[in-house]
Amino acid sequence: MTFENLNLIQPLLNAVTRKGYLNPTPIQEKAIPTILQGKDIFGCAQTGTGKTAAFALPILQLLETEKDRNQRRAVRTLILAPTRELVAQISAEIAEYSKGMDLRLVTIYGGISQHAQTQSLQRGVDIIVAAPGRLLDLMNQGFVHLDKVEYLVLDEADRMLDMGFINDIRKITARLPEKRQTMLFSATAPAEIRKLAASLLHNPVQLNLSPDSAPPILVSQSVYHVKKENKKLLLTHVLQNDAVKHVLIFTRTKHGADKVVKDLLRNGIKARAIHGNKSQSARDSALKDFKDRTIRVLVATDVASRGIDVDKLTHVINYEIPEQAETYVHRIGRTGRAGETGAALSFCSADEKAYLKNIHKLIRHDINVVSAHPFTIN
């Protein structure tokens, strides 16, 4: 399959050639024709799958080929994403793809002065890529009108929910025309996301690109059976090993992540947490400290950990076993990259044994049990 097979117009074929794309990724192969046919999409896909091009290329084609030359510029496409980094990244890619097209793009997010953004909006714009908070603020000030939107994209919807944007999203979408094409992308599909999708999408085509069920071959896997109340003691014990140099610890909840950090600091171990309740600057700062090796330990929830790509990460610790077996594979894939070896340790309490069983089923082999530790269950 080539991009030519996807019936893209020449300016877009030129763009993918410039970017060095040889063949479409699975999500691009499925999403591009579906969007060009005018259908809504509910896509389950992780980051790094070529998702931005999957929705941006067909939307750019539709905007370019269905343009009313006599009409004053109005916002025809709205793309929402959870963080300023992702908003900036999507905007940069769309700017690349749309070279040579007469389309105007505005990037909207908080943390900077709104002056440049409002000036661009007043000159007329075709595409807005925005974080929900600042967009809603500008809408309330009368700078943004969305009554002509034809295409809506919600990217990393589960992360937007995790960061508390659900009410902002509902307020924004209430101001859009009912007749529009909507694309929602999420790495996971919990009940809240399915509920949101049902309220926004009309007869959507479902694209499920589940993560690979094979764990990375250079990662050794171990499980420690331990009482729930002894997990913090076990963690301190494990971190006393000098071989555990640089470790990413996963919890299921934001509260759990904060609690682990508190326990570690109390024991003199430098650690920070990243999750949806932390400000963007706090998350950036924690990640920088971790990458710079200023701190040895970073504690994260699954959603907030997206985009963490750290060289030579020696260990991943599942302080809590994930409910979804695929999430386990995704977590432990953060170590053992680029030819390096890594280790994944999982702390399993009695109430998590069913989750562990599902992981065994998915990866098709048992995980090595470490029984020689001070807090083992007899």
Cβ atoms of 182 and 40 closer than 8 Å: yes
Which residue range is the domain that position 41 belongs to? 4-208
Is 260 found in the same domain as 335? yes
Residue 239 lies in a domain: yes
Is 236 found in the same domain as 92? no
Residue 375 lies in a domain: no
Is 235 found in the same domain as 317? yes
Identify the bridge partners of residue 285 per DSSP, sorted by sequence position. none
Tokens at 251, concatenated: 């919890």
Is 356 found in the same domain as 270? yes
At residue 96, the pLDDT reads: 93
Who contacts 266 (Cβ-Cβ below 8 Å, separation ≥6)?
A: none
Inform me whether the pLDDT recorded for 378 exceeds 90: no
Here the contacts of 197-202 (C-beta below 8 Å, separation 24 or greater) are 197/42, 197/157, 200/152, 200/154, 200/173, 201/40, 201/41, 201/42, 202/40
Is 198 found in the same domain as 301? no
* Residue finishing a domain among 208, 228, 257: 208
Residue 377 lies in a domain: no
Is 161 found in the same domain as 21? yes
Inform me whether the pLDDT recorded for 306 exceeds 70: no
Is 244 found in the same domain as 119? no
In the chain, the percentage of residues whose pLDDT exceeds 90 is 59
* Residue finishing a domain among 208, 234, 254: 208
Helices (H), the chain: 10-18, 26-36, 51-65, 84-97, 115-122, 132-140, 157-162, 166-173, 191-200, 231-239, 254-266, 280-291, 325-332, 353-363
Per-residue pLDDT band at 231 (split at 50, 70, 90): very high
Residue 237 lies in a domain: yes
Residue 34 lies in a domain: yes
Per-residue pLDDT band at 1 (split at 50, 70, 90): confident
Per-residue pLDDT band at 103 (split at 50, 70, 90): very high
At residue 205, the pLDDT reads: 94
CATH number of residue 182's parent domain: 3.40.50.300
Is 122 found in the same domain as 40? yes
Is 162 found in the same domain as 231? no
- The 10s digit of each residue's pLDDT in 166-189 is 899 999 999 999 999 999 998 877
Q: Is the dihedral of CA 288, 291, 297, 303 positive or negative?
A: positive
Is 169 found in the same domain as 39? yes
At residue 2, the pLDDT reads: 85
102-116, 127-141, 202-216: segment of lowest average pLDDT:
202-216
Residue 81 lies in a domain: yes
How many folded domains does the chain comprise? 2
- The 10s digit of each residue's pLDDT in 9-52 is 999 999 999 888 888 888 899 999 999 999 999 998 766 678 89
Residue 304 lies in a domain: yes
- The 10s digit of each residue's pLDDT in 315-357 is 999 999 998 887 888 888 888 766 678 899 999 999 999 999 9
Inform me whether the pLDDT recorded for 211 exceeds 60: no
* Residue finishing a domain among 178, 208, 238: 208
Residue 213 lies in a domain: no
Is 199 found in the same domain as 66? yes
- The 10s digit of each residue's pLDDT in 50-99 is 889 999 999 999 999 887 655 678 899 999 998 888 898 899 999 999 99
Is 239 found in the same domain as 134? no
In the chain, the percentage of residues whose pLDDT exceeds 70 is 93
